Chain A
Amino acid sequence: MTTVLFVVFGGSALASALLAVTRKNPVASAIWLVGMFFGLAGVYVVLEAYFVAAVQVLVYAGAIMVLFLFVIMLLDLRSKQLDLEASPRMPILGVCAAVLFVVVSGMALMDAHDAGIFPDAAERATLVLDGSPEAIGADLFGRWLLAFEVTSLLLLGGILGAVILTKRRLT
């Protein structure tokens, strides 16, 4: 049952993601991306990570994508305009970015594996999955505190950058 649900949700997430990058209409793309987030949330629920699932929908589908839609609608983007602006180098850049992503994340995962973060088969059998808010909070502010703070600094940098880019003059 769990495997079936995992395949259903994961498959729908993959299909939605594909549709999101192939649609011509930016609004349709955005909506398929929302569908992707729901599929991903479903996968999290199957993995008993209810907190992550709820936050996934709350933050990405409920807030970030609404902002995306807001901007798309405000600028009234049409597919024609997007075609004009898309440079022929875009696919090449996209492939480069994808390769870079796979290499970097693969190396990170291998490092993590060598460091013994992943449980082996014997450990996995006895592993208790705890996706409760308490467990996540304790992990986030205990074991992973440094990573958490670095991430928040990164986000702060993003916010400052957005403010500086959009402010015409700083007084």
Chain B
Amino acid sequence: MMGLLSSTQVATAPIFAHIFSRADDGSANFGWVIGRILLVLLIVHVLLILGALMVWAERRVSAWMQDRIGPNRVGPHGLLQPLADLGKFMFKEDVIPGHVNKVMYTIAPLISTIPALITFAVVPFGGSYEMVDGKEVAVSWQIANLDIGVLYILAVAGIGVYGITLGGWASNSKYSLLGGVRASAQMISYELSLGLAIVPVVLMAGSLNLGEIVAYQAENTWLVFTQPLACFIFLVAGYAETNRLPFDMPESETELVAGYHTEFSSMKFALFFLAEYANMTVAAALVVTLYLGGWTLFGLEQLGWGMAVLIFALKTLFFMFAFIWVRWTIPRFRYDQLMNLGWGVFLPLTLVNVVLTAGAIALDQTWLFFLLPALCVAAALFVAYMGLKREEEQFQPLPTAAGEKGSA
């Protein structure tokens, strides 16, 4: 079983390394096990607290963008609002409607929340440079240093959809069911693009291990510069996978009341809510890890172990802010547009990108990386230009007051 973890890595600060490290023969000792448990507890709590703070941030930022004030009564700047919300969730009556499938209805929020929390296990949240075989390499700190980290994330993230689908089905109400059906169709569609957007990263870094992907980027260049298209598609597919606007079809309020969680109340609803925000945190952390160099920032991470964690946290927080930013900026897609974008645009683009990247690596032709992104930008500019031109041609000045009088 221990083959899962590499023998030398320590996911704690170096000062604790001698307590929480493995024995010389690589076996796990008591201190190491305790250290791991503490680390897991710490990270789960950080995710939970971040989720709560994200709810506060969402309300404050949306208020700011809509020129309102937002919640500002509980604590300084309303920071304790999540605690008040939690109290409300806890003391609300936990209604289980008579028409639901009780077992599925009860476990659906759990199926939704657990994958969201355990995905973070393989994400490197910090690290340091160490001498390995006489060469300085970036060694990441993770809970579990899986060699198949990327596949683990895709596999576990794919399980989360069961919570939403079953929640919708078990509720036995038409709006919930529609939300659940939409969720499963949407997640399947965008998981393909999401996975195929990661393939070039794996090809270039030559590893499925997230720590090694970060090490590759520390040694060479951030993958966002060599794989801009894959990064963009991963980001957008991430929005679809986390059911965030502009892709929140499973719960679109104007059509489905609240979608799959219409019938849920109290902490069951809170768990769905928490899962969404934990998923956002993981998606942001993944964009940072896969494309933006993880915990590295042009050598600044060498200042100390706290600096690496801080860099990673700041990058992740930026993308979490972007989630909120996009939600309150871009309106919701129509369902057919969402499907067309996934299958008709993203899937072919990611496939061509995979082939081009593999060709570029095999033939050692760096310019091939930029062929497709350049074509995409050109196509986008062309479409924008044609749209503007058509609008100009079709533009007719509004009749003036005098003209209206004349024509009437």
Residues of A in contact with B (beta carbons under 8 Å apart): 1-2, 5, 27, 31, 34, 45-46, 48, 50-51, 54-55, 57-58, 61-63, 66-67, 69-70, 73-74, 132-133
Contact = CB atoms under 8 A, between A and B. Distances in A.
B185 A70 contact: yes
Contacts of B184: 66-67, 69-70, 73
Interface string B1-17: 10110000000000000
Contacts of B208: 133
Given A50-B4, A66-B165, A73-B180, A27 B104 contact: yes
B177 to A, nearest CB: 6
A159 B208 CA distance: 29
A5 B2 CA distance: 14
Contacts of A5: 1
A55 B104 contact: no
Contact of A61 (B148, B158, B185): B158
Interface string B195-215: 000000000000010000000
A83 to B, nearest CB: 19
Residue picked from A1, A73, A132, most chain B C-beta under 10 Å: A73
Given A63-B188, A70-B184, A70-B185, A55 B151 contact: yes
Nearest to B209: A133
B151 A51 contact: yes
Contacts, number: 79
Contact of A133 (B148, B159, B161): B148
A2 B180 contact: no
Contacts of B3: 48, 50
A51 B147 CA distance: 9
Contacts of B166: 27, 31, 69
Nearest to A50: B148
Contacts of B185: 70
15 contacts: A2-B1, A5-B1, A27-B104, A31-B104, A50-B146, A51-B148, A55-B151, A62-B155, A62-B157, A63-B158, A70-B184, A70-B185, A73-B169, A74-B181, A133-B148
Interface in B166-201: 166, 168-169, 177, 180-181, 184-185, 187-188, 191
B34 interface: no
Given A69-B184, A73-B165, A50 B158 contact: no
A130 to B, nearest CB: 10
Contact of B188 (A48, A66, A132): A66
B370 interface: no
Nearest to B169: A73
A70 B340 CA distance: 19
A54 B165 contact: no
B154 interface: yes
A78 to B, nearest CB: 12
A10 to B, nearest CB: 16
Contacts of B159: 57, 61-62
Contact of A1 (B1, B156, B187): B1
Contacts of B155: 54-55, 57-58, 61-62
Given A62-B154, A66-B162, A66-B165, A54 B1 contact: no
B273 interface: no
Question: Which 10 pairs from chain A and chain B are nearest by CB?
Answer: A62-B158, A54-B151, A58-B155, A57-B155, A70-B184, A54-B148, A66-B184, A54-B155, A50-B148, A58-B154
A73 B104 CA distance: 14
A23 to B, nearest CB: 12
